[in-house]
Structure 1
């Protein structure tokens, strides 16, 4: 790998209140693919700058674009750790296969990612709850009008220092269930982290916010009865006799935090099941007093407790300002592992030497 290091700033002044995704570090990883030149080539870390790309690049016209999201943390003992990055790289390649994008070498990609974080390690915030967001992505760059896979691609990794998702503490969120639109369909691109999935979800998110709800919960596209996922997270439902989360059906993103939460719940001896959960079951069991708690999981927020869920004219409430008991316990457990406060029993952290 060619490492091009630009002159480091003598002092990095981060904003007091970091807004997610608005601040970027000095360097970026970049690697290009050309089918006629032997595949992926010339990996390098260079100074962050704007891209020069042809307006006929196929990403603009046919949507071949995917991304990932994970974080690097400054642990309590001063080390730098990434949380399960190999799983993000595995999912990146799964998305690539679905979108006919060439895969990347997992071991080399992890090496590039760690080297980039190491290069810009001074940008990792040290305040409690702060971290360095890592955004790998691949786009089709061949200049061509034609509905087919591109012959050229660009793989990049951006870094962005971020503050805690809940700057005022762990607060619950409100969610609106929609059956007006669908996000994805089984056998489509729902299980891939494709950029187009997020474009398809925006209208539901906008309408939810117009009704003063934080996020939208999507139902399955076929029967419009089974809950699937929220715009930025997977969903968990705590009934009186189990914790359930929608099973991966091909239209749900297999979240890294989701799989970690499932493992932690198993470690705790809880009855955790991946299964179909209908919105009618949720309403019925809420009315019977058997629906105890709802929460989501994702990279950005880690765990999001839900205090209000709206479906048509039905509003289900789970407390007011206080998060759910299990959601708070899971949040403390996962973030405790990520920041090195709690024993990493499953070796989920990868440290930078």
Structure 2
């Protein structure tokens, strides 16, 4: 089979190649699925791993596969998987067992769900990583739900969070930011947004009143900079705290180990815990702050598929590439396009 393989750490254009490799091993007595991959969406995680962003956490044997998101068809189903041949599924591969940018892959059923019928394979492949992240971010907020500020409204997580903020999380109002060229694209595809700020023309700090937000999805590693937007609870209030939930600032060691699926060494644990403590130092106690790395699970994937089939969620795609242009797809994804970048593996 053909698969995009990473031969070393470095620039994607130099270390990624489409190679012919053997079919992955499959255990028919397990909960595994052998899948014929139809489409894969690209995430920041993909090119960060290629560059070696986490090589200090675990060492990888090269060559190794690339990609975690997928939409696919079941070729063989393990006896404990709960699926059958021909089922269409979406899934998110574990980071240390990744390799979805391939004609076939093997994945545990616990990281999959039935594909939403209303979406194409290209659209459905965009849901797993960013959708799991958005759902988990909302789940970590237990305070008021009047206004949610979700910057980067056409980013992978941003576009899904914007669509879920009202129907899934229960917020009344949503705010977002995009660059000039993306304003009309966002308004065309995600219509139920109350305020769209062109940050190239207007400073969000002047457009959004101080103390007006109950929830911020922080995506740039600058959590303390959002404190000014948060609505301080009235004295004696029992409605909970406003939340800054970060998907960019590393979480503490326990959450990082859970998200990465690895055991962390002593020095890395200390570093992550210090980083987390330093971030929290700059955030007042009346604000709930949290950061995390999403963990794949079938329940949340099923929830995303159901929301899509209810017409409440549809990924915005910037461009679809054939598999032999996978390297170009990663390059476009890294340039902050107006939507997700997808690689079509087969029809």
**TM-score, scaled to structure 2:** 0.31
Structure with bigger helix share is: 2
Structure with bigger strand share is: 1
**TM-score, scaled to structure 1:** 0.30
